[in-house]
Chain A
Amino acid sequence: MAGPWWRQCPRLTTGCTATNILENLWHLKGRPVSSSASASLLSRASCISRPETRPPTGAQINMKAGNFLIRHQSRLLLPTLQSCCCRATHSDTKPKDPFTLAQKDLTSLYDDIKKELFVSKVELKSLCEYYFDGKGKAIRPMIVVLMARALNIHSNRAGDLLPGQRAIAMISEMIHTASLVHDDVIDGSDKRRGKRTINEVWGEKKAILAGDFILSAASMALARIGNITVVKVLSQVIEDLVRGEFMQLGSKENENERFKHYLEKTFKKTASLIANSCKAVSILVNSDPEVHEIAYQYGKNVGIAFQLVDDVLDFTSGASQLGKPAAADLKLGLATGPVLFACQQFPELHAMIMRRFASKGDVDRAWQYVLQSNGVQQTNYLAQHYCKEAIRQISRLRPSPERDALIRLTEMVLTRDK
C-alpha cells in the first residue's frame, strides 16, 4: 500500500495510515450527487457507469502520482507533465497560450461589468468600479470562456459563445471581486494589486456596502440569463465563499483534521467559484450530467492547485511581486499547506498553529521552520497532483484548441511566480 508517494512525504505517514491521509486529501465533501456535482472522486466513481471511463481508485491515483513525483522533483519540470500523462489523448501541436486564445472573448469584459454596476450615486459607482480597472489577471473569466468554447465544440455547437456563457464569465469576476472587497475588510488589508484597498481609502462601512452592491449586480445579471439551474449552481458559490471564510476562523487540534479542513476551506474559498462557473457554462450548452461533471472537476482541481500555489508564493515570492506583503497568511494567523507539511517535520510548529502565530516572534520562527522543511516542495507536489487530475478530466472532452489551452493553463498555474 505504501508506495513511493509516501516515501516522498515521510512525516505524512506518521500517526495515521496511508489510506487515511489519502482520503483526507481527496475526500473533500461535495454537493449531493443528484445534480451530478460530487466533489469526491470515490463517490463519483460509483455514479459514472461506463467502465472505460471509470477513474482509478484513490489509491491507484496516488500510486501513480507517487511514481510521477519520484521522477520530477521540482515543479519547474512540470512542462513534461503534459506530455507524460496526456500523450494518448490530445494532438501533438503546441497548444496556444490560453491568454491569447481567450483574448477575443474578454476584450469588453470590464466595460460589460461597469454597465452592470450602473448606479446614479457617483461615489458608490467609483467604489464599485475600483478593482475593475483592467489591471487584474481576470483568470476566472479566462477559464470560463475557454471552457465554454471547448464544451461547445464537444457538443457539436459551432460558432460564438452563447450570451449566457459570456455573462457567466463576467459574473465569475464580479463575485470574485465582491469577495475580495469583503476579505480586505475582514483581514484589515491596506493594499491589493499594488493599490490601496477600498477600506483603506473610503473606510470599512462603505467598502462592505460596495461589495454588497457588486454582489447584487452579479445576482441580477445571473437571473437575467434566465436559467434557474445556472442560478442555483452559482448561488452555491456565494454560500461556499462565506462558509470558507468562517472555516478560517478556527484551528483544528488534530493534524489529520487540520489538513482536511485546510483543503475543504481551499475548495470553498477558491475552487468552488471556478468549478461551478465551469459547470454553469456546460449546463447552457449540453444536457449530459457527465459533461457537467467534467467541467466541474476540471474547475475544482485547477482551483485547488491555484490556491495551493498561491499559498506557496506567500513564502517564496517577494513582496513586490505579489502586490501584498510576504508571509501575509502567517501574519493573519492562517496555517496553509507549507506550514501544515512543515509541522510534520517540526512538531514545534503545532503550538504556534494552535495559537495562530499570535505570540511574539511566532511569524518569524514559523517562517524559518517552513523554509528549512520541505513544506513548500510538498505543497507544490500536491498542486501538481491536482493539476494532473484536472488534465485527466478535461482530456475526456473532444480535442480543440481551447481544450488544449486549458491543459496548458494547468501548467501555467504551477509555474507562475506572482
Chain B
Amino acid sequence: MFSPSWSRLSCVALSSRGGLRTLSLFSSSGSSNWSKVVSDAEKIVGYPTSFMSLRCLLSDELSNVAMHLRKLVGTQHPLLNTARGFVYDSKNNLQMRGLVVLLLSKAAGPSHTASDLLAQDMVSGIYPSQRNLAEITELIHTAFLVHRGIVNLKEWTVSDGPLKDMQFGNKMAVLSGDFLLANACTGLAQLNNTKVVELISSAIGDLVQGIYYENSHNTEENGLTDGVDVAAWEEQTFLSHGALLAKSCQAAMELAKHDKESQRLAYKYGKHLSLGHKLNSDLQPFVKSRAGEPLSFSLSAAPVVFHRQIIGRETWHHQLQQAKTLRNQLDYSKLLAAVKSEKGVSTAMDLCCYHGNKALEAIQAFPSSEARSALENIASAVTKF
C-alpha cells in the first residue's frame, strides 16, 4: 500500500533526528498516535489554549445560541455538527493550531533584543501575548468552521428539515461566527502590535478566499471539470488550511521581537505542517480499511483531485458513471478502487512526506529543546498513516 518513495522519505526523516523517544512515540499508528503526540505536546506548554475560547463559549451570547440549537436537532443544518465538535473532538484537534503556536513560541525562547519584554512574565517559557495569540488563532479557526456551515436556502430540500429551522440555523451560524471573529479582533488589538494585527487580518482574508474557492470547487463535484494540478492544489489549500497557522507562527515570533529569519522559519513550519496535515487527513480513506464503517470521501480530497488530473477529464467522467448505483448514488468502494489503481494516492503521499520534511527542516534552526522535539514529532506524525 505505501509507495516506496514515501517509506524512503519517512525513514530519512526519522533517522535524521533519531532518538528513542521519537521511535517509541510512533510505534502505534493512526489517530491514537496523533492524539498521543498532541497530548504530550500539551504538557510541554503548561496548559492548553482553550481559555479565551472558553470565555467566548461561556458568554451570554453563545449560551443563547446553544439554547436555540435545540431547535435544530433533527435537521441537517451543519451548525449542529460544528457545535458538537466544540464539546468533544479528539480526531480533528480543534486546538491543534493554538498548540503549535505555543510550542514554537517556547522553542524560540525569550527575546534578546526587546527591553519591554520581561522574561519573568513568561509562563512555561511563553509570553502572555503569545498565549493570547494562540487563542485568537483558535477563535478565528472556529469562527470559520461555523461560517463554512452556512446553508444556501435556495438549495434547500425537504430532507434538510423545515425551511424555517434552516433559516434560523443560518442566523445562529452567522451570529456566532461573527461573535468569535469580533472577539478575535478585540483580542488582536490588545496584543499592542499593529504588525501582528495586519498579519492576522490578512490571514483572515486568505482564509475567506480559500473557503470561497472550496465552495465553487465543491459545486463542480459532478466531475465535469478537470482536476487541478499539484501546484494549484497547494496554492488553494494554503489559503484555506495553511495561511492562518503560518501567519500565526510568524506573528508569535514578532511578538517576542525575534528577527526576520526566525519569523520566516516559523512561517515555513506552519505552512508545511498545515499542508502535510491536510494531505494526511485527505489520504485517510485511501490507506485505511475501516471494517464496518460506511466508506465515503470528498471528491475534492487531494488523492481524487490528483487522480482526476492524471487520468484526464473523459476517463474520470467515465469512472464516475461506472461508480453510480441504480439509485444514482455513488458507490464509493468502486470509486476508491479506481482511484487506487492510478497514481493519485502515491502522488498525495509523496507530497505529504515532502511537506512534513519541509516542516522538519524549518524547525532545525531553533535550538534543541523539549518544545522543538514536540514540533518535530508533530511534523513526523503527519507523514504517518
Binding site for B on A (CB under 8 A): 119, 121, 123-124, 182, 185-186, 188, 203-206, 208-209, 212-213, 215-217, 219-220, 222-228, 231-232, 235-236, 238-239, 241-243, 245-246, 249-250
Please tell me if the beta carbons of A245 and B178 are within 8 angstroms of each other in the complex.
yes
| A123 CA to B61 CA, complexed, in Å | 33
Q: A208-B177, A219-B201 are in contact. Are A231 and B61 (CB under 8 A)?
A: no
Please tell me if the beta carbons of B186 and A182 are within 8 angstroms of each other in the complex.
no
| A121 CA to B214 CA, complexed, in Å | 12
Contacts of B198 in A (CB 8 A): 220, 223-224
B213 on the interface (CB 8 Å rule)? yes
Distance to closest chain B CB from A196 (angstroms): 13
B12 on the interface (CB 8 Å rule)? no
Please tell me if the beta carbons of B194 and A213 are within 8 angstroms of each other in the complex.
no
Q: A204-B151, A204-B152 are in contact. Are A219 and B197 (CB under 8 A)?
A: yes
Contacts of B193 in A (CB 8 A): 228
Within 8 A of A (CB), among B169-188: 170-171, 174-175, 177-179, 181-183, 185-186, 188
Please tell me if the beta carbons of A185 and B204 are within 8 angstroms of each other in the complex.
no
Which A residue sits closest to B205, measured CB to CB?
A216
Please tell me if the beta carbons of B182 and A239 are within 8 angstroms of each other in the complex.
yes
Distance to closest chain A CB from B114 (angstroms): 16
Given A124-B209, A223-B194, A242-B179, 17 more pairs with CB closer than 8 A: A123-B216, A204-B153, A204-B170, A205-B215, A206-B212, A206-B215, A212-B144, A212-B208, A215-B204, A219-B188, A223-B197, A232-B189, A235-B189, A239-B185, A246-B64, A246-B175, A246-B179
B211 on the interface (CB 8 Å rule)? yes
Please tell me if the beta carbons of B150 and A208 are within 8 angstroms of each other in the complex.
yes
Which 7 pairs between the two chains have the least Cβ-Cβ distance? Answer: A223-B198, A203-B152, A219-B201, A223-B197, A216-B204, A216-B205, A235-B189
Please tell me if the beta carbons of A188 and B215 are within 8 angstroms of each other in the complex.
no
Within 8 A of A (CB), among B194-225: 194-195, 197-198, 201-202, 204-205, 208-209, 211-213, 215-216
Please tell me if the beta carbons of B174 and A186 are within 8 angstroms of each other in the complex.
yes
Please tell me if the beta carbons of A235 and B186 are within 8 angstroms of each other in the complex.
yes
Please tell me if the beta carbons of B186 and A209 are within 8 angstroms of each other in the complex.
no
Contacts of B167 in A (CB 8 A): 188
Distance to closest chain B CB from A202 (angstroms): 9
Please tell me if the beta carbons of B181 and A226 are within 8 angstroms of each other in the complex.
no
In the complex, 22 of the A-B residue pairs with CB atoms within 8 angstroms, ordered by the A residue number, are A123-B212, A124-B209, A124-B212, A182-B174, A205-B152, A206-B212, A206-B215, A208-B177, A209-B208, A212-B181, A213-B205, A216-B208, A219-B197, A223-B194, A223-B201, A228-B193, A228-B194, A231-B194, A235-B189, A242-B179, A243-B61, A249-B175
| A224 CA to B178 CA, complexed, in Å | 23
Q: Which of B152, B186, B202, B212 contacts A239 (CB 8 A)?
A: B186
Please tell me if the beta carbons of A242 and B151 are within 8 angstroms of each other in the complex.
no
Q: A223-B194, A223-B197, A232-B190 are in contact. Are A217 and B205 (CB under 8 A)?
A: yes
Within 8 A of A (CB), among B129-185: 144, 147, 150-155, 167, 170-171, 174-175, 177-179, 181-183, 185
| A212 CA to B140 CA, complexed, in Å | 11
Contacts of B155 in A (CB 8 A): 203
Contacts of B322 in A (CB 8 A): none
Distance to closest chain A CB from B186 (angstroms): 5
| A60 CA to B271 CA, complexed, in Å | 62
Which A residue sits closest to B194, measured CB to CB?
A223
Contacts of A188 in B (CB 8 A): 153, 167
Distance to closest chain B CB from A215 (angstroms): 7
Q: A212-B204, A223-B195 are in contact. Are A185 and B154 (CB under 8 A)?
A: no
Distance to closest chain A CB from B238 (angstroms): 14
Please tell me if the beta carbons of A242 and B178 are within 8 angstroms of each other in the complex.
yes
Contacts of A203 in B (CB 8 A): 152-155
Please tell me if the beta carbons of B147 and A212 are within 8 angstroms of each other in the complex.
yes
Please tell me if the beta carbons of A185 and B170 are within 8 angstroms of each other in the complex.
yes
Q: Which of A215, A222, A238 contacts B186 (CB 8 A)?
A: A238
Please tell me if the beta carbons of B151 and A219 are within 8 angstroms of each other in the complex.
no
B192 on the interface (CB 8 Å rule)? yes
Determine chain A's interface SS by DSSP, over half rule. helix
Contacts of A215 in B (CB 8 A): 181, 204
Distance to closest chain A CB from B25 (angstroms): 38
Please tell me if the beta carbons of A228 and B192 are within 8 angstroms of each other in the complex.
yes
Distance to closest chain B CB from A152 (angstroms): 23
| A239 CA to B192 CA, complexed, in Å | 18
Please tell me if the beta carbons of A121 and B213 are within 8 angstroms of each other in the complex.
yes
Please tell me if the beta carbons of B154 and A209 are within 8 angstroms of each other in the complex.
no
| A245 CA to B170 CA, complexed, in Å | 14
Q: Identify the interface centre among A188, A225, A246: most chain B CB within 10 Å of its CB.
A: A246
| A235 CA to B183 CA, complexed, in Å | 9
Contacts of A185 in B (CB 8 A): 150, 170-171, 174
Please tell me if the beta carbons of B147 and A209 are within 8 angstroms of each other in the complex.
yes
Q: A232-B190, A243-B61 are in contact. Are A205 and B150 (CB under 8 A)?
A: yes
| A186 CA to B170 CA, complexed, in Å | 7
Please tell me if the beta carbons of A246 and B61 are within 8 angstroms of each other in the complex.
yes
Please tell me if the beta carbons of B64 and A249 are within 8 angstroms of each other in the complex.
yes
Q: Which of B152, B205, B213, B216 contacts A220 (CB 8 A)?
A: B205
Within 8 A of A (CB), among B38-86: 60-61, 64
Which B residue sits closest to A219, measured CB to CB?
B201
Please tell me if the beta carbons of B170 and A226 are within 8 angstroms of each other in the complex.
no
Distance to closest chain B CB from A197 (angstroms): 12
Distance to closest chain A CB from B183 (angstroms): 7
Distance to closest chain B CB from A199 (angstroms): 8
Contacts of B152 in A (CB 8 A): 203-205
Contacts of A226 in B (CB 8 A): 194
Q: Which of A212, A222, A239 contacts B197 (CB 8 A)?
A: A222
Distance to closest chain A CB from B58 (angstroms): 15
Distance to closest chain A CB from B50 (angstroms): 20
| A186 CA to B168 CA, complexed, in Å | 8
Distance to closest chain B CB from A37 (angstroms): 14
Contacts of A186 in B (CB 8 A): 170-171, 174-175
Contacts of A239 in B (CB 8 A): 182-183, 185-186
Contacts of A228 in B (CB 8 A): 189, 192-194, 197
Q: Which of A182, A205, A219, A242 contacts B204 (CB 8 A)?
A: A219
Please tell me if the beta carbons of A219 and B185 are within 8 angstroms of each other in the complex.
yes
Please tell me if the beta carbons of A213 and B209 are within 8 angstroms of each other in the complex.
yes
Q: Which of A124, A227, A235, A245 contacts B185 (CB 8 A)?
A: A235
| A224 CA to B202 CA, complexed, in Å | 11
| A205 CA to B178 CA, complexed, in Å | 13
Distance to closest chain B CB from A13 (angstroms): 31
| A15 CA to B65 CA, complexed, in Å | 33
Please tell me if the beta carbons of A119 and B209 are within 8 angstroms of each other in the complex.
yes
Contacts of A216 in B (CB 8 A): 201-202, 204-205, 208
Contacts of B186 in A (CB 8 A): 232, 235-236, 238-239
Which B residue sits closest to A179, measured CB to CB?
B178
Which B residue sits closest to A243, measured CB to CB?
B61
Please tell me if the beta carbons of A213 and B208 are within 8 angstroms of each other in the complex.
yes
Contacts of A246 in B (CB 8 A): 60-61, 64, 175, 179
Distance to closest chain B CB from A76 (angstroms): 38
| A209 CA to B61 CA, complexed, in Å | 21
Distance to closest chain A CB from B56 (angstroms): 11
Q: Identify the interface centre among B60, B154, B181, B195: most chain A CB within 10 Å of its CB.
A: B181
